Every structure is written in C-alpha cells, then in structure tokens.
Amino acid sequence: MQITEAGKKQVASLEFALEIREYLSKLHAAGAQEDYGRGAAISMIAWVMTGHDINRPPAAQELLELVNFVNCNAAQVNAAADACLENLVKNDCGPIVN
C-alpha cells in the first residue's frame, strides 16, 4: 500500500471531512467508545489516502496491510487527520488564525 495523489486530494477535501464527521456522529450516537471512533477515523483516512473507496472497507488481508501502512506512515496519516479536522473547524468557524 502506498499513498496516492488522488487519495491525498480526497482526504484533504471538505466533503471527506464531513463524511468522517457523519460516520463518527453515528458511532457516538450508538454508544461507541471514543477510542473506537478515533481508530475508525484513522483507518478511514489511511484507507482513502491509499486510493481506496471509503464505501468499500478493507477485506481480511487488506486490513492487515492497512494496519502495517498506518504503523509505517504514522506521521503522514496523523498529518492528514489534522488537516481533516482543520477542514471541519474552518467549515464551522471560518478561517483559523494562528
């Protein structure tokens, strides 16, 4: 598994951030623990970063490859997660002032 340009572009989009928010909101409403939601978000971000369709979750072997990918590319996955969160904040509150 490797990061694709299309995957990076999709993860950076507001549409993707809103999709992640919707999914996590449903998990929260169903009573899922915060750690589960965090792991799910990281997995979804990494999956899409590698050019996969968010609507087609990884199968057994792909899941193992995804875990390895996240472990080996933690800094890049975390940066993408930060950018996703920043997109949501910008959408909700306007531009971020540093």
Length of the chain: 98
Report d(CA 81, CA 41) in Å as an integer. 8
Q: What is the pTM of this model?
A: 0.85
Distances (CA, A) of 12 to 19, 22, 45, 55, 91: 12, 16, 10, 17, 13
Over residues 8-62, the pLDDT tens digits come to: 999 999 999 999 999 989 988 999 888 898 899 999 999 999 999 988 999 999 9
pLDDT at position 86:
87
Which is higher by pLDDT, 71 or 89? 71
